[in-house]
Amino acid sequence: MTITTPKGFRAAGVAAGIKKSGGRDVVVVVNDGPSASAAAVFTSNRCEAHPVTWSRRILDDGVASAVVLNSGGANCFTGEFGAETTELTANRAAELLQLQPSDVIVCSTGLIGSGDEKFRQGVLTGVKLAVAELADDETAAQHAADGILTTDSVAKTALREGTGYSIGAIAKGAGMLAPGLATMLVVITTDADLESAQLDTALREATRLSFDRVDSDGAMSTNDTVALLASGASGTAADEGEFTSLLVLCQDLARQLQADAEGASHDITITTTGAATEDEAVAVSRAVSRSNLFKTAIFGNDPNWGRVLAAIGTTDAQFVPQQIDVSMNGVMVCRAGTPDAPVDTVDLTPRKTEVLIDLHAGDATASILTNDLTHDYVHENSAYSS
Amino acid sequence: MTITTPKGFRAAGVAAGIKKSGGRDVVVVVNDGPSASAAAVFTSNRCEAHPVTWSRRILDDGVASAVVLNSGGANCFTGEFGAETTELTANRAAELLQLQPSDVIVCSTGLIGSGDEKFRQGVLTGVKLAVAELADDETAAQHAADGILTTDSVAKTALREGTGYSIGAIAKGAGMLAPGLATMLVVITTDADLESAQLDTALREATRLSFDRVDSDGAMSTNDTVALLASGASGTAADEGEFTSLLVLCQDLARQLQADAEGASHDITITTTGAATEDEAVAVSRAVSRSNLFKTAIFGNDPNWGRVLAAIGTTDAQFVPQQIDVSMNGVMVCRAGTPDAPVDTVDLTPRKTEVLIDLHAGDATASILTNDLTHDYVHENSAYSS
């Protein structure tokens, strides 16, 4: 089990006819308490979807008892009608669950611009069906994990057991994967007894070091939401030090998102070490992760380190070009800015690919998780909305 | 004719065995004067190639009488040996042409990290062969245009006639096409009688509004150079107002670069209007041009305007999301942040594609020229160095 493993949570995922495939597309997760502490982080895209605007506002008080999520439509750039749909969704869930609408987080994912009357009716019908099926068993957790998927090929779940409490999660994300955040919806539940301020601090730190370091395709979504709900049902007040297991859980999910990225054939970890600051290490790794030429080279199993250096050169990080080392899968192909080991000694056939950059400019290190740029990526994304 | 049309210039392009294909790979362009005024702009990539470092330095005095260019190797990240190769190249040309080495611009293009002994001997041999063939006829100009090509499918040339003088140019560029500059080598010749300071001003302004607005694949090269040589042989001192024909010539070449971008099936002009400033209009158009999801959608003839808005939302430009209009090929698909004309009324089958964004935040306008992201782009760039 995952999100229903922590005590005090029920979930359901149903098919309400929003997805053309007929698959599950509306999910409800409920926190039965005793506590209703919550925190969330959202996309930093200024063009945010209506559910993001809604959820950001209702979480001002650090309290939420339910999350309604739908796949099959992003409800973004759908005008006043779309904003009303989100509000009606929260109202419907609140009515059925005997909550305040302002305690209902709403999340949507799918095509931007989709959110018409049919979509609205689908979501509202789905909420009713889902509430009727709410349960705390394994099937319910699985249905919830399935119901938020779009182009994902597998459900993403994670579970960590703390001392006297647990943390569970479901996640989706396969395309438009870039930071602040990767395109994702994540719901995390815990029965630890924590205040919303503690949840907020822990979630921001965990997100910064996990989801914000996935940059699969450089495209930032309008709908990203990571919500954390705490029921307090375990009666255990996990201390802040121990609740860092949240970070491990988020990193686990981040790896799952990377592994299922659209069309990818390589999971690439780009680690920059010897940076003057952690921010600069992130900037350098991210610049490389966004180079289409680097990404196509990896797809072709070509250790073209010149494209790594060309990307590094676009950043403001401290370095001297003639001091940079680049290794691929353990082979140093560029040492101090000059060719080193022959490129044909690098084996790039494994899906797991490691690129290590040493700037020799300090002691900071950071990694970005990305993917290669493949024919399948082009295919999936040239046909997605049609 | 092109670069040899302005009086006072000779050129040649020869095959020196650097390119595996056996094609022409070393080019020499000579300015026989009477003037030797010159100006150039270079890549802003901090990881710059040895020829860029050399040429930037020797142009400090605004004087140059020859340009040596090679394809088949970038001579970038090739260590001290690579720096020596560039210097030896300038020395060889200077000796044969009875110039100072500090009057010889050097340019290289090809795989980063390639520049070994064989490469060096190829370039040095090529310089000798080319100097022996220098001529001011059409064949010589054509050979020069051919000799700088890499993955380009066609030679790029341009010619503008002013009042009493002319401007000619050759250019290459097909991949790693992004600003500051697009990956390109361009040599522009003119027989106008202008001081180097005048040339510098005119070239920077023309580049800003032409090559710097091509962003085919977001990848910034290490070797970009645009050099402008003025012989003064026409005896005409073009006034500054009239020499703006340089801008028209550069825009012509920029369009040629876009039209021959690796693997592209659409030439996309992204125009942002109603921006608060020109810089913000550029930033918005550029953000869209760098969205792989937008670029794959266009490849699939899919007017997925949500991906345009998602990219706009990553910028700091002034706008209110609910006021943005987006049109594609003349059809407004998003009006004031909501769906407008049905997307199936947009015809994206022509290669020439126009995206018009109105931010309704001011009076400034700017366009970026980009391309779609295709299977052929992935194919060409996954196999380029192997």
From A223, which residue of chain B is nearest by alpha-carbon distance? B310
DSSP state of B242: G
The answer on pLDDT for A241 being more than 60 is yes
State the average pLDDT over residues A346-350.
Answer: 95
* E strand or H helix that includes residue B273: strand B267-275
CB-CB neighbours of B198 under 10 Å: 20
A219–B305: do the CB atoms touch at under 8 Å?
no
pLDDT at res. B363: 97
Mind listing the pLDDT tens digit for each residue in B54-109? 999 999 999 999 999 999 998 988 889 999 999 999 999 999 999 999 999 999 98
Alpha-carbon distance A158 to B279, whole Å?
44
pLDDT at res. B57: 95
Alpha-carbon distance A283 to A364, whole Å?
12
DSSP per-residue codes, B219-237: PPPS--EEEEEE--TT---
Both structure tokens of A379? 């295919």
* E strand or H helix that includes residue A292: helix A292-299
DSSP per-residue codes, A197-218: HHHHHHHHHHHHTTGGGB-SSS
CA distances from B53 to A77, B106, B178 (A): 48, 9, 20
Quote the minimal CA–CA distance from A266 to chain B in Å: 13
The answer on pLDDT for A152 being more than 90 is no
* E strand or H helix that includes residue A67: strand A66-71
More confident position, B90 or B386 = B90
- Torsion sign across C-alpha atoms B361, B363, B364, B365: positive
CA distances from A140 to A31, A131, A146 (A): 14, 11, 10
From B307, which residue of chain A is nearest by alpha-carbon distance? A112
- Active-site position among B183, B269, B272, B370: B183
Contact A374, A265 (CB under 8 A): yes
Is this complex scored with an ipTM above 0.85? no
Alpha-carbon distance B90 to B104, whole Å?
6
Alpha-carbon distance B225 to B184, whole Å?
6
Confidence class of residue A181 from pLDDT cuts 50, 70 and 90? Answer: very low
Residue closest to B132 by CA, chosen among B99, B97, B83: B97
Half-sphere exposure of B190 (CA within 13 A, CB side): 33
CB-CB neighbours of B61 under 10 Å: 12
Alpha-carbon distance B1 to B169, whole Å?
9
pLDDT at res. A182: 46
Mind listing the pLDDT tens digit for each residue in A19-78? 989 999 999 999 999 999 999 888 888 888 899 999 999 999 999 999 999 999 989 888
The answer on pLDDT for A386 being more than 50 is no
Residue whose structure tokens are 């270079």? B42
pLDDT at res. B175: 53
CB contacts of B216 in chain A (<8 Å) are none
Both structure tokens of A69? 């999520």
The β-bridge relationship of strands A166-172 and A185-190 is antiparallel
B219–A291: do the CB atoms touch at under 8 Å?
yes
CA distances from A385 to A51, A233, A306, B344 (A): 21, 43, 36, 11
Alpha-carbon distance B127 to B108, whole Å?
13
pLDDT at res. A269: 95
- Residue B66, sorted as left (phi over 0), alpha (psi -120 to 50) or beta, turns out to be beta
From B49, which residue of chain A is nearest by alpha-carbon distance? A310
% of chain A surpassing 90 pLDDT: 55
What angle do helix axes A375-382 and B375-382 make, rounded to 10 degrees? Answer: 170
Contact B278, B365 (CB under 8 A): yes
The answer on pLDDT for A256 being more than 80 is yes
Confidence class of residue B176 from pLDDT cuts 50, 70 and 90? Answer: low
Domain B267-382: what homologous superfamily?
A: ArgJ beta chain, C-terminal domain (3.10.20.340)
pLDDT at res. A174: 65
Residue closest to A105 by CA, chosen among A145, A172, A49: A49
A77–B338: do the CB atoms touch at under 8 Å?
yes
Confidence class of residue A310 from pLDDT cuts 50, 70 and 90? Answer: confident
A339–B304: do the CB atoms touch at under 8 Å?
no
Q: Residue A355 phi/psi, 5° resolution?
A: -115, 125
Q: Count Cβ atoms within 10 A of the Cβ of residue B91 and give its class: 0-12 exposed, 13-18 middle, 19 or more buried.
A: middle
pLDDT at res. A263: 85
What SS3 class is residue B302? Answer: coil
Backbone Cα Rg of chain A: 21
pLDDT at res. B243: 79
Contact B80, B46 (CB under 8 A): no
CA distances from A115 to A78, A308, B305 (A): 6, 41, 14
Quote the minimal CA–CA distance from B39 to chain A in Å: 24
Pure H helices in B98-166: 117-133, 138-147
Residues in contact with A208: Cβ distance below 8 Å, sequence separation at least 6, in sequence order: none
| The B225-230 sheet, strands edge to edge | B37-42, B225-230, B185-190, B166-172, B156-161
* E strand or H helix that includes residue A13: strand A9-14
Nearest to A47 among B112, B290, B312 (CB): B312
CA distances from B187 to A187, A238, B131, B257 (A): 57, 67, 17, 14
Q: Residue B48 phi/psi, 5° resolution?
A: -100, 155
From A177, which residue of chain B is nearest by alpha-carbon distance? B293
pLDDT at res. A64: 94
Half-sphere exposure of B43 (CA within 13 A, CB side): 31
Confidence class of residue B114 from pLDDT cuts 50, 70 and 90? Answer: confident
State the average pLDDT over residues B182-189.
Answer: 76
pLDDT at res. B226: 83
Nearest to A309 among B47, B322, B339 (CB): B47
Confidence class of residue B319 from pLDDT cuts 50, 70 and 90? Answer: very high
**Dihedral angle over CA of A73, B274, B177, B69, nearest 10:** 180
DSSP state of B179: S
Tally of residues, chain B: 386
Confidence class of residue A175 from pLDDT cuts 50, 70 and 90? Answer: low
CB contacts of B220 in chain A (<8 Å) are 310-311, 313-314
Name residue B331's amino acid.
Answer: V
CB contacts of B297 in chain A (<8 Å) are 381-382, 384-385
CA distances from B78 to A259, B56, B74 (A): 35, 18, 9
A176–B310: do the CB atoms touch at under 8 Å?
yes
More confident position, A135 or B175 = A135
Contact B266, B351 (CB under 8 A): yes
Contact B363, B277 (CB under 8 A): no
Q: Residue B234 phi/psi, 5° resolution?
A: -80, -15
A338–B382: do the CB atoms touch at under 8 Å?
no
B383–A321: do the CB atoms touch at under 8 Å?
no
pLDDT at res. B65: 95
% of chain A surpassing 70 pLDDT: 96
Nearest to A302 among B48, B220, B382 (CB): B382
The β-bridge relationship of strands B185-190 and B225-230 is parallel
Residue closest to A43 by CA, chosen among A225, A305, A203: A225
pLDDT at res. B385: 47
The answer on pLDDT for B287 being more than 70 is yes
Residue whose structure tokens are 């069309």? A263
Query: For chain B, what are the domain ranges?
Result: 9-259, 267-382
- Active-site position among A86, A183, A225, A236: A183
Mean of per-residue pLDDT scores for chain B: 89
Mean of per-residue pLDDT scores for chain A: 89
Alpha-carbon distance A234 to B30, whole Å?
82
CB contacts of B150 in chain A (<8 Å) are none
Both structure tokens of B49? 């190639």
Quote the minimal CA–CA distance from B373 to chain A in Å: 7
CATH topology match: A9-259 vs A267-382: no
Mind listing the pLDDT tens digit for each residue in A311-338? 998 899 999 988 999 999 999 999 998 9
**What does CATH list as the number for A9-259?**
3.60.70.12
The answer on pLDDT for A298 being more than 50 is yes
Q: Which residues of A219-238 are buried (b: 16+ CB within 10 A; e: fewer)?
A: bbbbbbbbbbbbbbbbebbb
Q: Count Cβ atoms within 10 A of the Cβ of residue A163 and give its class: 0-12 exposed, 13-18 middle, 19 or more buried.
A: exposed
Name residue B85's amino acid.
Answer: T
The answer on pLDDT for B221 being more than 90 is no
Q: Tell me whether residue A183 is one of the annotated catalytic residues.
A: yes
pLDDT at res. B177: 47
Question: Which of A202-216, A306-320, B180-194 has the largest mean confidence?
Answer: A306-320
Alpha-carbon distance B326 to B330, whole Å?
10
Contact B381, B297 (CB under 8 A): no
Half-sphere exposure of B13 (CA within 13 A, CB side): 25
Confidence class of residue A10 from pLDDT cuts 50, 70 and 90? Answer: very high
A385–B113: do the CB atoms touch at under 8 Å?
no
B47–A74: do the CB atoms touch at under 8 Å?
no
CB contacts of A311 in chain B (<8 Å) are 219-220
pLDDT at res. A125: 97
